[in-house]
Amino acid sequence: MVSNEDVVRTLERIADLLEIRGENIYKVCAYRQAAVQVENLDLEAEVLPTPLALCDLPRVGPRTAALLRHEAGITTIEELEAAAWSGALAGVPRLRERSVERIVAALDTRRAHGAKTRRPRREVEPLARELGATMRAMPQTQRVDIAGSYRRGRDAVGDLDIVVATAQRATILTAFGALPRVERVLLKGDTKCSVEIDSGFQVDCRAVAPDQFGAAMQYFTGSQQHNVRLRARALRLGLLLNEYGVFKVDGGERIAGANEEDVYEALGLRWIEPAEREDHGEIDAAAIGQVDLFGAPATAGRGRVRIDG
């Protein structure tokens, strides 16, 4: 069965992709609001099995995932692996031989690389310091910091997220992928370069414009649930929060993003320390009285609708 968390993650991913493509902001908000509604359901509840998890596997698209579900009852990677290794996959109606070969190849690749292994923080700290210093030394960088679970002070981390503020993103990402410590480049795009270092440990470098640095640090530092609740709060205030900044839903005006403090302030919140961003009540505790629908602390006589923080 697929959990609420799986559905929330998928809806958020769709919203992010639509936003990147420049789709209508109201369509983006609709997906984010749906994610909030699902996230607010009883966390013990589950939804009907869907093939969404299978779509994370390379070479398995939505149509193939739906076929596997309807014809063979396969809804998880584990079920797909069992069918592939037993030979049952070849007997699935309407699944072509070529498709079976592609799926088996993708599963083999997944097994070879294995699941992401978390490493003790003490083992990762020297690498984090080294990479941070290396990126800061590049003349094209303006600000550099480590985000993710490492910044939240977790005892073990699955990867490192380095956020770089620069006006020359392509140059920075190319240089990052060419560092001597890099063993393999996993992905390189316009804003992100993912590499493997030290026998398969993944490090992601995200290059953003200087005025987006604060929003990116907030987005890539908070836990998933912390960020989901922040985006829900933003929507209630008539705002849209993402890794590029805080925007008014009505008109799309950007009102914060250069600094993390400004991002939280725009949402009517005091600064929340990175280590606290785990969705353990820190957002409610940081609320500053009442906030108006435009993200600024409400004051008497402004004539705007207010909601409790």
Q: Compute the residue count for the chain.
A: 309
pLDDT band of 71, cuts 50, 70, 90: confident
User: Please, are residues 59 and 103 in contact by the beta-carbon 8 Å criterion?
Assistant: yes
Task: Give a yes or no: residue 214 inside a domain.
Answer: no
> Same domain, yes or no, for 129 and 171?
yes
Residue whose entry in the numeric block shows the structure tokens 């697929």: 2
Report the share of the chain in percent with pLDDT over 90.
45
- Provide the phi-psi class of 86: left if phi over 0, else alpha when psi is between -120 and 50, else beta: alpha
Residue 44 binned pLDDT confidence (cut-offs 50, 70, 90): very low
| 217: in domain | no
Residue-wise pLDDT for 118-173, tens only, equals 899 999 999 999 999 999 999 999 999 999 999 999 999 989 999 999 999 999 99
- Mean pLDDT value of segment 103-108: 78
Highest mean pLDDT among 35-49, 163-177, 217-231, 239-253: 163-177
- Per-residue pLDDT band for 59 (boundaries 50, 70, 90) equals low
How far is Cα 158 from Cα 124, in angstroms, rounded to an integer? Answer: 10
Place of tokens 């609740």: 229
CATH code: domain of residue 185: 3.30.460.10
Residue 80: its pLDDT value, please? 84
Residues 106 and 132 in one domain: no
Confidence label for 305 from pLDDT (cuts 50, 70 and 90) = very low
Q: Domain ends where: 208, 236, 268?
A: 208
Please determine, for residue 55, whether its predicted confidence score (pLDDT) is greater than 70: no
Last residue of a domain, which of 179, 208, 237? Answer: 208
CA distances 90 to 51, 79, 112, 139, 295, Å, are 19, 14, 22, 55, 55
How far does CA 43 lie from the centroid of its chain?
A: 20
With bands split at pLDDT 50, 70 and 90, how would you rate the model's confidence at 65?
Answer: confident
Of 218, 228, 223, 227, the C-alpha closest to 4 is 228
Single residue among 113, 130, 157 that ends a domain in this structure: 113
Number of domains in the chain: 3
7 and 47 Cβ atoms separated by less than 8 Å: yes
The pLDDT tens digits for 205-217 are 999 999 999 999 9
Residue 309 has pLDDT above 60, yes or no: no
Q: Is 298 a residue whose pLDDT tops 50?
A: no
Tell whether the model's pLDDT for residue 109 goes beyond 90. no
Assess whether 227 and 283 both reside in one domain: yes
Question: Residue for token digits 């966390």?
Answer: 43
Compare 39 and 82 and report the one with higher pLDDT.
Answer: 82
What is the residue-averaged pLDDT of the chain? 82
pLDDT for residue 138:
97
pLDDT for the residue 50: 47
Query: What is the residue range of 95's domain?
Result: 2-113
Task: Taking residues 100-109, report their average pLDDT.
Answer: 79
Tell me the percentage of the chain whose pLDDT exceeds 70: 80
Q: Where are the beta strands (DSSP E) in the chain?
A: 2-3, 46-47, 119-120, 141-146, 156-157, 159-166, 182-188, 192-197, 201-208, 239-242, 245-248, 254-256, 290-292, 306-308
What pLDDT sits at residue 224?
82
